[in-house]
Each structure stands twice: as C-alpha cells, then as structure tokens.
Amino acid sequence: MIKIISKLGPGLLFAGAAIGVSHLVQSTRAGADFGWGLIWALILVNIFKYPFFQYGPRYAMATGESLLDGYYKVGKVFLITYFILNLATMFTIQTAVTIVTAGLASSLFGVTDNMVIWSLIITLICYVILLLGKYKVLDKMIKVIILILAISTLFSTGVASINAQEVYSFKQIFPTGSGLVFLVAFMGWMPAPLDISIWHSLWTLEKKKNQKITPKESLFDFNVGYFATVILGICFVSLGALVMFNSGISFSNSGSVFANQLIELYTSNLGDSFYLIISICAFTTMLSTTITCLDASPRTMSRATQLLTKNNNTSYYFQWISALAVGTMLIFYFLLSEMGALVELATILSFITAPFYAILNYKLIISKNMPESHKPSKPLRILSVIGILFLSLFALGYILTRFI
C-alpha cells in the first residue's frame, strides 16, 4: 500500500489544482441553485475532457518531454501563443484563488479579517515552501492536503445527507435564460481549464527525476487524481443541494463571500460542532489550488522561456515564481477593485482556448514523435474527436451566451 502511495504524485497535484473554485464555488453553486439537476453536465464534461488531460502524462512518459516541447516541434507559433495566453492570465488566476483562500483562512483561524494581509501571508508561505522544498516537498505535501480534503468533504456530505429534511429529487434539468449562462461557465471550469494538462506533463517529468515510474503507474496516478475530482465535484454539488437549495437566501457572486455563506449555512443547519469540519474542507480545497498554481505557472513559463531562448538556464523557475508572487501581491494592493474585470478576462480566454489545447494535445499524441505502443486506443481516439467537437461548440456557445 505504501509503495502504491509513493508512486502517486502528479495525478494528485492535478487534483489539487483542479479542486478549487470550480468545486467549492461553481459545483456548490450548481447544487444551491439547481439541486442535483446538473449532475449530468458535471459527468458529461468530465468524460469529454478526459482524453486531453490524460495526454499530458501519456506524452511525457512516452517521449521524456513536456507538452510544451511538443508544441514547439509542431510550430514555434503555438508555443508563443501559449506563452502570451499564460502571461495574460497567470497573475489574475493566482490572485483570484489566493483571495478565496485568504477569506477561508480568516474564518478558520481568526487573527485578522484583513484579506490583503491574509493573502500576503498565504502567498509568502507557499513561495518559501516551493523554493526551499521544490517538487519533492510539494509531492509529499499534496498527499496530506488531498487526504484531509477528501476525508473532510466526504464526511461533510455524509452528515448533510443524514440530516437532510427534504426528500431528494435527482430529476435532471437543462436551464434556460441566466441559468444557461451559468451552465456554460460551470462546464467550462469543470474539472479545470485544459492547459492544466501542460502542468501535468511537467510534474510527471519531475516525478521521473526523483523516482522510477512506469507508464502504467503514471496512468494509474492520473486516473486516481482525475476520478477524485469527479467524485468530490459530485460531493460539492450535493453539499449545495442539501444545505443551500431552497434556503431562500440570495447568494453572492464573490467566491470568498459565497464560500463563507456555505460554511455559515452548513453550521446553522447542522450545529456549531460541525463548523470546524466544513471550514477545514473549504480551506484545504483552496489551499491545494493556491500552492499548485504558484508552482505550475512558473514551471511552464520557465520551460517555455528555455525553449524560446534556446537556453536551459535553471534559474528561470526562480525568476518566474518570484515575478508571480510579487505580481500577485501588487494586484492585492493596487488592482483589487478591478479583480472582477481581470477574472472575466481570464474566464473568456480559458473557455475560448479550450479547443486550441484539445486539438494540439490530440495532434501530438498521434504524431510521429509518439511511439506506436504509447498511442491512444481507437475508442480513446473516437472520444477525442467527439470531445474536440463538443469543446468547439461549447466555446461557440459561450461566445453567443456571453456577448450576443
């Protein structure tokens, strides 16, 4: 058992990055507004996105290269496009997840309710851990965080289910009007934006440097992480349905405020004794995202810089993680009032570029760079083509519902 756990790593980091705002806020909001009516959407989008996330570790194990190396081989323009897109969104995304984590830390630990101070503390702690401990510490730390997250989430959902006063209704619905706009956003963020597949490929290579793993073990690790995101996504929908649905309360559009509304409602319904459990559940959910994002964005930008400059300078990671930490702090001080517009920009780019990453990942995985024995099976290829069509229609749907 210990040997199996030791082989896990990149898949759990993927889960840590994915299980954040999409789960704590979006999934719970889905349950709060529609009960269990959108479970179909959660399952469907996870099926269609599965191949493109899986191709990250598959490509890394087969070629010994990251997806960024593959993009560069397909065409330098694709790597430059990624570089620009990531640069445009990485600071906003880091700030957005950190501010939600800060709000939950304030509720859990007290001390001060100043979100800027908490955000700076969390950013600094994560920054020091990543610089001093590097991947090895992150690999060990995420296993503890995901374990606490899984136990507290499953326990919270179980308690809410036992104490539910109303009869469950699992009737599936297709929302209209403003509900359709939410559905598009919900599916877009679930389980995560597709560029996280790039992060996964880099984490897989780091894992290989520290420990011998086989392609089969890497795939198992990915599946553990991926299916954990699906199960916990259903749990958060259930929490929203059990605790918040038909409560008569108007829910905030702010992620940090909404998360605290969940904690308050959960506590008021089930008693003060459960406050700590749901608070730990919410905080670990966002902490996992905060620290994995702070590692992954600099890691990808470092590799992209190496490829574009043809210089394997190992200090690029330090430069990019320092830039991200400082940039995040500057946004807290000077642009916090503009966070809504910045998050909207990141959301738009994330949704519209999903087909771009899906097509590139599929092109790489069936290319001549991939050994035949590592190429996907015919059913997975068929699912990939269907997934590309789905994501393309989805991106078009987002544009139509958002701008027209």
pLDDT above 70 covers a percentage of the chain that reads: 96
CATH number of 2-403: 1.20.1740.10
Greater model confidence, 56 or 115? 56
Q: Is 249 exposed, middle or buried (0-12, 13-18, 19+ CB in 10 A)?
A: exposed
Say what the pLDDT of residue 201 is. 96
Least confident stretch, 76-85, 105-114, 300-309, 334-343: 334-343
pLDDT digits (tens, 9 = 90+) for 325-336: 999 999 888 877
CB atoms within 10 A of CB 288: 26
22 or 221: which carries more pLDDT confidence?
221
* In contact, 5 and 140? CB cutoff 8 Å: no
Pairwise CA distance, residues 112 & 107, whole Å = 9
Q: What is the pLDDT of residue 63?
A: 94
**Whole-number average pLDDT of the chain:** 87
Contacts of 221 (CB under 8 A, 6+ apart): 7, 8, 9, 10, 11, 12, 57, 213
Q: Give the pLDDT band of residue 141 (cuts 50, 70, 90).
A: confident
Q: For residue 165, what are its two tokens?
A: 């006063």
Q: Residue 174: how many CA atoms within 13 Å on its side-chain side?
A: 0
Residue 353: the pLDDT is: 86
What is the tens place of the pLDDT at every residue in 8-35?
888 999 998 888 877 888 888 899 889 9
How far, in Å, CA of 171 to CA of 234, rounded?
15
Output the pTM of the full model.
0.90
Q: pLDDT higher for 403 or 291?
A: 291
How is the chain split into domains, by residue range?
2-403
Query: Quick check: helix, strand or coil at residue 48?
Result: helix
pLDDT at residue 340 in the model: 65
Closest residue by Cα to residue 296 from 97, 75, 147: 97
Q: What average pLDDT does the segment 322-345 reach? A: 81
* DSSP per-residue codes, 189-219: HSS--TTHHHHHHHHHHHHHHHS---HHHHH
Whole-number pLDDT of residue 166 = 72
In angstroms, rounded to a whole number, what is the distance separating the alpha carbons of residues 314 and 330? 26
Return the closest-CA partner of residue 122 out of 322, 291, 292: 291
Short-list 219, 169, 207, CA closest to 59: 219
110: left (phi over 0), alpha (psi -120 to 50) or beta: left
Q: How far apart are CA 88 and CA 397, in angstroms?
A: 23
Backbone angles phi, psi at 193, to 5 degrees: -60, 150
